[in-house]
Structure 1
């Protein structure tokens, strides 16, 4: 006689009430909006975290995830890390052609210039800034340039610090640049050379948590691309206020191509540069 078939696991399903509890918790932790249209996405990630935390049920898990280590793990499960080197490189061109030349008008050689990539995901954007400036800004060695990459996802930050990237991440990098700044390919990945890894400092930060933004200090340039699209109006208003506060007077803000600060706040001034449209703190 054949063995009886093993029982199949019961499909994971969030009740409307638990879905609301989950989305409200994620919103409180990240500022990101998820709703019924993202049910499958939410259920997959909540089911995984319930299983890995050994919580007996969803409500117990959500109470556990409200604070402490599990809150960080839940945040990591819901962040989106879509990025690659030289993404929206017209803004990098604006950085070397117009933005930094404007910034240094009020600086002396050797002065500090701070650039913030937020969210930085797995590091492609801040590392792209470092490489681009080495390749395209003649005054790169004349100033003390600090590049900071921040993200709410601690797993992404760990990957950024490690500095390993696959072929897809490097697809837009010119061959000559790839050979100059990356070690030879190994197991379909290439490691950024140590000097470049050490040129970017990575920190955890949450754009809708004012204290974590204040802790980063003031910046001359901020790249905050493709994050505000995940926020509602209330979260965008908080983010805009925090971005304004973290910029030095006259500082520059670069958003994603589908984002507009003008629809959120009147604090910033629109600046139409030759290579990109950006915003400035007056």
Structure 2
């Protein structure tokens, strides 16, 4: 068979996703994750859905979807979640919020603590770890109060593949491009393939875990959180899922705790639970003290 004909035959043999299939899948995925797929995401969704159908050996969307819904272990659902989530990040991204953290938020949080109490920071989503590790570097380099307080950094994601990558701590040149050279030399080791491995001390300073913000059983264990970084996640949710996530984070926070969102996100359009605080570097949202 000629190459062009072989290619055409292979394409014809691929599973197809109809409009009804897409609607059915999008509704199912939304119920499981809170992530809402608009019709303009069809190419992205169809491509990854077909890849998972082929990977499992199913012959059609219907066969795959039935298996997915009734799989007791949840392994394929997790593989699907990993395929469908987007992870675009780098070190010191939107660093003005990290500046705000070390210049204002940490001191204010510490002022409400009793001696011996721990300060807890939660970064969600973790993606491949650049954000929580950026927080750790900022605290080490730019917050003098670190010598007096025990700070715990937690980081979570729904995608188990990116959590594994975060724990490995190996990054491309693009990921570390915004780091000051002195920090790169201090906290990273150059690898033979041109990548950079973060120090074992920093890896051990962050506790990573899988969390679905739409699942109360996942978020219930997070309590007494003083600062949350939840940047560029809620844009993938619809209004209801955003409110559910906002309420979960509210319940997890200490009174007076702060939450930092992405630059295009606004908690005031999601929930009335938080008040707005404006600092020279950034606008953040705060859980009322009482």
TM-score interval (norm. to shorter): over 0.9
Unaligned runs of 5+ in 2: none
| Contact 1:118–1:224 (CA under 8 A) maintained in structure 2 | yes
Give the counterpart of 2:97 among 81, 91, 101: 91
Matched position secondary structure for 1:254: strand
> In the aligned structure 1, how far is the partner of 2:190 from the partner of 2:75?
37
Q: CA deviation at 1:46?
A: 0.5
Aligned pairs for 1:182-261 (under 5 A) are: 182-261=188-267
* Higher mean displacement: 7-16 or 222-231: 7-16
Work out whether residues 29 and 75 of structure 1, in 8 Å CA contact, stay in contact via their aligned partners in 2.
no
In structure 1, how many angstroms separate the alpha carbons of the residues matched to 2:4 and 2:125? 51
How many residues are treated as equivalent by the alignment? 282
Conserved? CA contact 2:119–2:226, under 8 Å = yes
TM-score, structure 1 normalization: 0.96
Distance 2:118 2:161 in 1: 29
Report deviation, 1:214.
1.1
Contact 2:100–2:281 under 8 Å retained in 1:
yes
What TM-score, normalized to structure 2?
0.93
Aligned-partner Cα distance in 2 for 1:8–1:238: 43
Is residue 2:76 matched to residue 1:50?
no
For residue 24 of structure 1, the aligned residue among 7, 23, 27 is: 27
What SS class does the counterpart of residue 245 from structure 1 fall into? helix
- String of CA shifts for 1:16-71, please: whole Å, max 9, x gaps: 11011111122112111113211111110001000101112101212222351111
Q: Distance in 2 between matches of 1:61 and 1:227?
A: 28
What is the root-mean-square deviation in Å for CA atoms of aligned residues?
1.7
Residue 147 to residue 9, structure 1, CA distance change in 2 (3 Å) = same
Q: Which structure has more helix as a fraction of its residues? A: 2
Task: State which of 138, 163, 167 in structure 2 corresponds to 1:161.
Answer: 167
Segments of 4+ moved more than 4 angstroms: 1-5
